[in-house]
Amino acid sequence: MKARILGTGSYLPEHVLTNDDMAKLVETSDEWIRERTGIRERHLTDQGTLHMACEASKRALLNSNVTADELDMIIIATFTPDYLFPNASCQLQAALGAPNVPCMDLSAACSGFIYSINTAAAYIQAGMYKKILVVAAETLSRVVDWEDRSTCILFGDGAGAAVIGADETGILAMDMGSDGVKGPVLYCEAWPITNPIVNKGKAGKLRMNGQEVYKFAVRRLPKTIETVLQESGISVDEVDHFIFHQANRRILQAAAKHLNIPAEKMPMNMDHCGNLSAASIPVLLDEHNQSGKIKRGDKVVLAAFGGGLSWASALIIW
């Protein structure tokens, strides 16, 4: 038994902040941002993570022809939930109506969606569950330091979702890993300790050593892709679509050059939504799927890297 992606959905908030808008907030320019990252604009939410997760999920259920009451489990990948508890997936369960199923949030930063589909696949392959809703939703605008031009220009808000179901084909190979020693190059502290004996100030903001993350990404991305290709015995030429975490156009181009991936097989959408952390891959996957570019039987490689530091990939038959 394999775990297949039955359908996808995504949601980007209406409000758009362009690079020119950004240049009014911090000292930067449209030219600098586009050249260094490939980003033109990003979407910002005024409603939060649950709202976006819910919209993306409804679209994924519709696209999969699955109803909420058929679900056996809900997993949400996020590090920007609206509440610490109940977790975002319990809130989503209440909003969608999927009574009594187990709901869990999974925190693996930008690798979160692939960690989550790999987790869902493990439950399905073990025969425990048949249909699992996997969502990635991030309100990054809530943790970005709007005075730090080296990070605030990169991120946006959004959500993507997929229904994973038991089938004869689907995910052929998975790779996941992490290197906690390098954690300090990309992090966001949670709540400070504030109690009657100590007051450590305000909630944390996202902090990043961009060059260190860049070096990690250009080395790690090709490696994790090679791992799933080797495990499934499929060559780069046989793969139809490479859907990568949309952090920076230059990182993806470097990986593509290393592995000889033609540009037409590696869609990018960071131009209109920036870096969505865990939501980046399912949003791009859904845009590509809804435009009819992915056909049944196509071979799709998903790959991500990010906070942890972490990485993950999957090779899927559509």
Instruction: Tell me: does residue 19 bind ligand UT7 (CB under 6 A).
Output: no
Contact pattern for ligand UT7 over residues 31 through 60, marking x by CB under 6 A: -x---xx-----------------------
Nearer to ligand UT7, 23 or 66 (CB): 23
Please select the residue that binds ligand UT7; options are 217, 278, 279, 285, rule is CB under 6 A: 217
Instruction: Tell me: does residue 248 bind ligand UT7 (CB under 6 A).
Output: yes
Nearer to ligand UT7, 32 or 318 (CB): 32
Instruction: Tell me: does residue 213 bind ligand UT7 (CB under 6 A).
Output: yes
Could you list the active site residues?
A: 110, 245, 275
Please select the residue that binds ligand UT7; options are 247, 281, 294, 317, rule is CB under 6 A: 247
Nearer to ligand UT7, 63 or 80 (CB): 80
Instruction: Tell me: does residue 318 bind ligand UT7 (CB under 6 A).
Output: no
Instruction: Tell me: does residue 207 bind ligand UT7 (CB under 6 A).
Output: no
Instruction: Tell me: does residue 92 bind ligand UT7 (CB under 6 A).
Output: no
Which residue's CB comes closest to ligand UT7? Answer: 210
Cα 22 → chain centroid: 23
Instruction: Tell me: does residue 214 bind ligand UT7 (CB under 6 A).
Output: yes
Instruction: Tell me: does residue 110 bind ligand UT7 (CB under 6 A).
Output: yes
Instruction: Tell me: does residue 67 bind ligand UT7 (CB under 6 A).
Output: no
In the complex, which residues of this chain contact ligand UT7 (CB under 6 A)?
Answer: 28, 32, 36-37, 110, 149-150, 153, 210-211, 213-214, 217, 247-248, 251, 275, 306
